[in-house]
Structure 1
Amino acid sequence: MPWRACGGILVWGLGGFMSVPGHAQTIPVAARDVWQADEIPASESQDTPSAAGGSLLGDMGGLRPWLARYGMTLGIQDVNELWGNATGGIASTSGDGRGAGTGASYIGVTMPDLTADLEKLMGLVGGTFNVSALQIRGRAITQDHLADFNPISGFEADRSTRLFELWYQQSFLKDTLDIKIGQQDLDTEFLISDYASQYLNASFGWPMGPSANLYAGGPSWPLAAPAIRLRYRPGGNYTVMFAASDDNPSGNRDSNVFGVTSNPADPTSQTMNDGSGTQFNMGTGALLITEIQYALNPRSGDRPGAVRHAGLPGVYKLGGYYDTARFPDYRYNMQGQSLGAYGGTPRWDRGNWLIYGIVDQLIWRPSPEGARALGVFVRATGNSGDRNIISFAIDAGLNLKAPFAGRTNDTLGLGWGIGRATSGVRAYDRARGALVQGNENHFELTYQAQVTPWMVLQPDFQYVLDPSGGLGNPSRPMRRIGNEAVFGLHTNVNF
């Protein structure tokens, strides 16, 4: 049977089920200055390339100034990536034994975005409206050659032209409380390390846990879902957020998403049921997520009334989610027998959860006014093992801002992450006599260079140790997929 990278849990093929990687990820905005993440609220931590001075097309013949008079900001961001796998991987022909496990791949995304300040536009104080779209092209290298738990790039997605987000936000109580309602991408605000956002591996964005375990990876790029989000920022250094969202942004049936009974070739297709992003799917269950943040030594721009502290700033987050939908059990089939030993259809269990903690901390700045600084991030997630691929995941890294003289806007980063296959997956592998999956480790060395005010160039190297925790190669199931050395070049242009 064909093999495909997907965001579901089970894919039928090679005589049984095998776990495969996630597919919907947060978008790592390369032009962003991660060192100012402590100075801005979480929901505003990704740049909108709207300023004429930082865009290739400037004022667009007067269009941008005209829009600004009415409180509207237009941004167009274009990302292009080239990737090549030098070692390991799987044959691109997916299981017939022919083709090479190495090769090149291209992916590109164009992202127009329009934001309106409704106070300027129509006098509605505290109101903001946003609409954005995606044009995705190319072919994902993870799908073709890698078979990792999470894609090698957060920009990998099915080819489509689609509506992305469409929401309205209203603030209250002198901006201490705001509510956002509409089609939303939750990974711009929840579960995200600000310092990790400069890395290209998808695991440093929307992490392995939700990406591999939820329906189509949950409401994360490039799939948004109907949701309501509340954020409260009382006096002091705290922020509290909560969101209730549809948990199935692709709109695929549960049997399609998890590859149990139908559509085994493409169980998590982002275009099968809703290629345009306009159907606003409401089907399987609700995803409820909450997060509390604490800002240590916040800078003056962190929130209204904040003061500048002399200490090194940091942001600490704790959170978790609960999904009310049903999920397939790795242990038992519908008759209560061992799924691995007897096969059949998995038993469906109600509910799924995950908890997480995140640290973003600046640890060295030789001069308070200088650009050079060193920051560290750590993020950990954990969840149940009977109905998921990933039981826990950790990622961490060191970022050096302004690593070379005269390159004040550049950042050098070294990151590491690990994902652990659940006890249910390992028991299933043992029962059916397959290679038992364990840990996948990924390492990333990246350099983000601000070439012009409107262009970022980012060479990248990644090494994946035991892809998908040592999954058997589809062409030779009793031989594990080889370790992968992957080279990439990422460009981000603001028009």
Structure 2
Amino acid sequence: MTVRLKVFLPFIFLLVALPAYQAAGQECAVENEAETVSCVPDNAFTDEPDLRFLTTLLNPDNGVTFQPTYYGEVFTNAHGGISTSNSTHYEGLLDLSLSLDLEKLNAPIPGQINVLFQNTHGRGLEQNVGATQIISSIDSLNNITQMSELWWEVGLYETGITMRIGRQDLSSEFITMDTASDFINSAFGLSPSAGLPSFPAPSPAVVLMKDLSNEVTVKAGIWDAYRSNEAGIFSNNGSVLFIGEFEYRFQSPFRQLPGLFTAGITYETPGEVPSGAIPRAYGYYVQYEQMLIREAGCDADNPQGLSVFAQHYPTYSSGNSPFPLIPHDALAGLTYTGLIRNRDADVTGAGAGWVDLDQGGTDQEVMIEVFYKAIVNDNLIIQPDLQYITTPSGIYPDAFVAGIRFQLDL
């Protein structure tokens, strides 16, 4: 463990210390300046060119938007888990996103079409750690090269209902929290171990969404459940997932800070896969997000300050499933945007996830993650990350994982 930490900790220290060093070089505020921190950057009202390498390769004004993004990371299992031998690995994800605005393209049908091509390469840490809450949100378990999403979205006449039909990721609209989106552990999104039609195996679906007011949104969807990475459009296993979600946006009563409460239900019909019968299952989830502190001068477009989030998602099954059973799970954490002066877009976070298991041993697993996400420029984001997992999958020794991720917007 000591040797591995000697490799990673200098990088983590430099990435965290660099923003602080840059801030220290700024002029100090005069003594009679109000003791508030303004979050409006000096260049907030200037039109600076987008410096991404391939931005607007195809012109969005003409109805075509193409956005390539590359994620790469190196993680090591420094202690515990299944094994620390040969446990430093690189993993990468290439996202190629294409959006077509059919009205701007003067197409004979309205709405928009979205396509997402994905390629993963390298290797994650799951064979070394053995955690149910998978260490990285870009870990596809087996490397993939596929068209992950292809869907058409259109407004249904004057009803105010938006329909989205085609192959899509459940977590793009359901069971997701924006406040938790900067964490690396997959549990803060939708872990592949959850058995839901999300990365790395989205599936065909029909989704309906409607804003009932400025505060309330309702959503409903039906998915081909348990889609595998095999060829073909449908899974043909007979199992269907129904999901409904209610969102309520509000302002806190004292400081009028934004918050979001989400509640949803899921129901999966029985089916059959080669490894066994899929039982009937249902669940519900509740999510809470709230800004607690907002720096002076901030608004919704520049939301610097402290936010918290929490989630609980119990599920119930009528029989033994061939997939890992997670009867209960819970998440909680906090993030601060712009914690270091003059680093207004950087994000610092700390969070924890807990899962109740049915695999023997302790039958539970707790994951703790801390990170610092540094926005280097318009192209590059660098994020050092530490995770501690107690009894991975309930049966392995406590594990300590260290790593660093970069994101390159091309």
Please give the TM-score of this superposition, normalised by the length of structure 2. Answer: 0.80
**Which residue is equivalent to 1:150?**
133
1:160 aligned onto 2:144: yes
Question: Hey, what's the Cα distance between the residues in 2 that align with 1:374 and 1:387?
Answer: 42
1:353 aligned onto 2:347: no
Question: Hey, what's the Cα distance between the residues in 1 that align with 2:78 and 2:119?
Answer: 29
**Which residue is equivalent to 1:451?**
376
1:212 aligned onto 2:193: yes
**Which residue is equivalent to 2:88?**
104
**Which residue is equivalent to 2:223?**
245
Contact 1:226 1:281 (C-alpha < 8 Å) held by counterparts: no
Task: State the shift of 1:64 in Å.
Answer: 2.3
Question: Hey, what's the Cα distance between the residues in 1 that align with 2:68 and 2:278?
Answer: 43
Regions of 4+ moved over 4 Å: 123-126, 345-349
Which is further off, 382-391 or 196-205? Answer: 382-391
Q: Which runs of 5+ in 2 are unaligned?
A: 1-47
Contact 1:410 1:449 (C-alpha < 8 Å) held by counterparts: yes
Question: Hey, what's the Cα distance between the residues in 1 that align with 2:355 and 2:224?
Answer: 26
Which is further off, 382-391 or 351-360? Answer: 382-391
1:283 aligned onto 2:283: no
Question: Hey, what's the Cα distance between the residues in 1 that align with 2:112 and 2:175?
Answer: 23
**Which residue is equivalent to 2:335?**
399
Q: Which of 367, 373, 397 is 1:482 aligned to?
A: 397
Contact 1:327 1:352 (C-alpha < 8 Å) held by counterparts: no
Task: State the shift of 1:465 in Å.
Answer: 0.8
Aligned partner letter, 2:210:
Y
Question: Hey, what's the Cα distance between the residues in 2 that align with 1:101 and 1:175?
Answer: 59
Aligned partner letter, 1:57:
L
CA-based RMSD: 2.5
Where does 1:33-432 land on structure 2 (aligned, <5 Å)?
53=50, 55-59=52-56, 63-65=57-59, 68-91=60-83, 100-101=84-85, 103-122=87-106, 127-142=111-126, 144-157=127-140, 158-172=142-156, 176-206=160-190, 211-212=192-193, 217-250=195-228, 270=229, 273-274=230-231, 279-297=233-251, 311-326=256-271, 348=277, 350-369=279-298, 372-384=304-316, 387=320, 389-422=325-358, 425=359, 429=360
Task: State the shift of 1:167 in Å.
Answer: 0.5
**Which residue is equivalent to 2:17?**
none
Secondary structure, counterpart of 1:284 in structure 2: coil
Aligned partner letter, 1:357:
V
Structure 1 residues 227 and 409: alpha-carbon distance in aligned structure 2, compared to 1, 3 A threshold: same
Structure 1 residues 52 and 325: alpha-carbon distance in aligned structure 2, compared to 1, 3 A threshold: farther
**Which residue is equivalent to 1:262?**
none
1:326-363 deviation line (CA, Å, top 9, x unaligned): 489xxxxxxxxxxxxxxxx9984641111100011111
Identity of aligned residues (%): 27
Aligned partner letter, 1:387:
N
Secondary structure, counterpart of 1:187 in structure 2: helix
Task: State the shift of 1:171 in Å.
Answer: 1.1
Contact 1:379 1:396 (C-alpha < 8 Å) held by counterparts: yes
Total equivalences in the alignment = 354
Task: State the shift of 1:448 in Å.
Answer: 0.8
Task: State the shift of 1:482 in Å.
Answer: 1.5
Aligned partner letter, 1:485:
F
Task: State the shift of 1:126 in Å.
Answer: 5.1
Secondary structure, counterpart of 1:295 in structure 2: strand
Task: State the shift of 1:228 in Å.
Answer: 0.3
